[in-house]
Amino acid sequence: MYKYKVSILGTGFIGLCSAACFAQKDIKVIASTHDKEKAQMINDGIAPFYEAGLAEMMDEIKNNKPDLLTCLLDPVKSVIDTDISMITQGTPMRKDKSIDLSFIESTAREIGEALKKKNKYHLVVVRSTVVPGTARNMVGKIITEVSGKQPGKDFGLCMQPEFLAEGRSIEDTLYPDRIVIGEFDQKSGSMLQEFYEYFYGDHLKKCPILRMNLESAELVKYGNNCLLSTKISYANEFANFAELVPGVDVAQVMKGVGLDYRVSPKFLNAGVGFGGSCFHKDVNAIKAWSKSKGYTSRLLEAILGINDDQAIHIVDIAEQLAGKLAGKKITLLGLSFKPGTDDMREAPSIRVVNELLKRKISNIVGYDPKSKETAGKEFGNKIKIVGTIDEALKDSECALLITEWDEFKTLKPEDFKKRMKTPNLVDGRRIYPYEEFDSKLNFRAIGRISIKQKK
């Protein structure tokens, strides 16, 4: 009845966005999770977390074609009832900063259990970000051991990294710029390619499918996230250079650099550094992996170091501007790791708060348009989280712009002057017109110091 039946094992951003997009194109999807509440929500057509466009898509599927997307609490059954299984589990960072593959391992076991009971060829696709060797030596091996079946004969194995950015997951799923297929053998890769030819149709005219071995595909994902992190740390390094010369502006410098046709201006915005569940985790994971193989990466060490230092640097700038901050009320504008999400994972605001507390600056008020709840959980009573910009700025002696939400972009120097006790502002994301703010406020910005100012 359905041309394709796909099981999605793991219902986070990648899993659920893929599931909804597939179902919308008449692919029968059986998702699976061990979380009862989440499964119920998915079956009710409700998105269990916020991601732009996902709720609408799930609602539409529920109303028009409810059979196309269901969620079970039984991964074995979801594998048995489908032809392709995609592993979309999280691969968090361990305490020692290496990759935690335990969810991948247990999912591989569940697939093995299912394939033991199944006599038809089945394709297993790893979509999670995993260090080279995981698909073959962990997933393939465990399935073989548990099921007694042979990869290449009884089941196929692919590794297809995802490149979704939070807030754009649906768009990135529907319109990727390339599809990378790592394959155990040609048959596995061809089956996955045919699936995507069916799913993407004409979009493939502008989206190449690259086929390679499993380990190369695993490394492509790290190649991307490490390069994007490198670009950000590179821009931040140049922000520090720019601050050595009054009048030099890192934003102009990076624009000049980025317009070189070999570079691209994207991800060259200097600021308080990168956050989120991916860059930090992935750079650390591949660094730990290479070290375990006898190669120590100096580049990745530097990228992480520069990133961490930006949080210290913004506090230094604030103290240069406003004097010693201990005992003063400080405002953080923006707490989530980027605009458009309430995700606090590895958010730069956490590093900034830790630095402030280290310097005994404890009267900290934070405001974020979306992350009141998640930030509340993250910070506990370390900072006071308020519900409006007004409250956050009231009587404050120094404001630090941490996340570039649109509602902060419309603030004028007068808005800070009116509300704050002393209008000291540090622009940690370069969203304010420098000349105007510098002439009307006590103002500093990452990557630029004023001609009138000596460091």
Residues that bind ligand UGA (CB under 6 A): 129, 162-166, 225, 228, 232, 267-269, 271, 274-276, 278-279, 282, 337-338
Which residues are CB-neighbours of 43 under 8 A, at least 6 positions away?
70, 71
Given a contact cutoff of 8 angstroms between Cβ atoms, the answer to whether 111 and 124 are in contact is: yes
Selection from 19, 143, 141, 159 nearest residue 82 by Cα: 19
- Supply the minimum distance, in Å, between the C-beta of residue 148 and ligand UGA: 34
Cα 125 to Cα 144, 247, 286, 292, distances in angstroms: 15, 52, 21, 26
Query: 214-242 and 250-258 helices cross at what angle (nearest 10)?
Result: 140
Cα–Cα distance, 118 to 79 (Å, whole number)? 9
Tokens found for residue 190: 């061809």
Report the nearest approach of ligand UGA to the CB of residue 228 (Å): 6
Which of 103/279 has CB closer to ligand UGA? Answer: 279
In which region does residue 294 sit, left (phi positive, over 0), alpha (psi from -120 to 50) or beta (all else)? left
| Closest separation in Å from C-beta 345 to ligand UGA | 9
Query: Please, which residues bridge with residue 231 across strands?
Result: none
Q: Looking at beta carbons only, is 256 or 327 nearer to ligand UGA?
A: 256
Residue 98 or 190 with smaller CB distance to ligand UGA: 98
Smallest separation (angstroms) from ligand UGA to the CB of 128: 9
How many helices (H) does the chain have, and how many strands (E)? 18, 14
- Which is catalytic among the residues 21, 71, 278, 398? 278
Concerning whether 21 is annotated as a catalytic residue, the answer is no
For residues 141, 147, 151, 157, the Cα torsion angle rounded to the nearest 10 degrees is: -80
Using the minimum distance from each CB to ligand UGA, give the nearer residue, 278 or 325. 278
**Minimum CB separation from ligand UGA for residue 427, in Å?**
13
Nearer to ligand UGA, 51 or 397 (CB): 51
Active site residues: 278
